[in-house]
Amino acid sequence: MVAGMLAAVSAAAVLAAGGGPMGARDCYWMRAEADFAPPTAFIPSEAKTYDMDLVPAASHIEVEQRGDEGGTTVALRVKGMKAGHKYGVHVHQKPCGAKPEDAGGHYQHRKDPVQPSKNPAYLNPENEVWLDFEADADGAATARSEHSWSFRRGEAASVVLHRAPGGAGDRLACFTVPFGSLPRA
């Protein structure tokens, strides 16, 4: 039973190069999912919960990224969260670790020269990937964020669930995600 509750990490990614006779475009697609577990769990998970009341062990997360020359779309689906709670969710710069702060700051398309970023000119849903949601009566939710830009290679590595929407609040959980970027010409 423990293995079924805590493990279950899977990821799939595809990078397709275009430019052929049909006019295909370069594109990237990735889907990753996992069940949350505490950082100290016997069976580790890429999805770590730091607050078992709001992100219970064995709750589930799925993240999908689609990208091409036109930009990037990131979609989120969760199950098993605290019903009725409003969460803030953002893409972060580093992979998850044993401590909530290990994931670093929010990924920003235009980087704030002052870190940690508090300037609303940089800290906003147009410059960052925000996937805020409110869990329904069953603890499930979906969110989606579309941008005309793509991630810089190696600079987006996780999704962090915060206590409150809008870019602030304690870090409740983290999921290490293999975000991708298109090859540079």
Condensed to tens digits (0 to 9), the pLDDT of residues 120-166 reads: 999 999 999 999 999 999 999 999 999 999 999 999 999 999 999 98
Residues in the chain: 185
Domain boundaries, the chain: 2-176
Per-residue pLDDT tens over the stretch 22-73: 445 688 999 999 999 999 999 999 999 999 999 999 999 999 999 998 999 9
Provide the b/e sequence for 90-112 (b: ≥16 CB within 10 Å): bbbbbbbeeebebbbbbbbbeeb
Place of tokens 């689906």: 77
Place of tokens 């770590």: 48
Q: What are the two backbone dihedrals, phi and then psi, of residue 167, each rounded to the nearest 5 degrees?
A: 100, 10
The top-level CATH class assigned to 2-176 is mainly beta
Look up residue 100 and give its two tokens. 């909530």
Contact assessment for residue 41 and residue 116, using Cβ atoms and an 8 Å cutoff: no
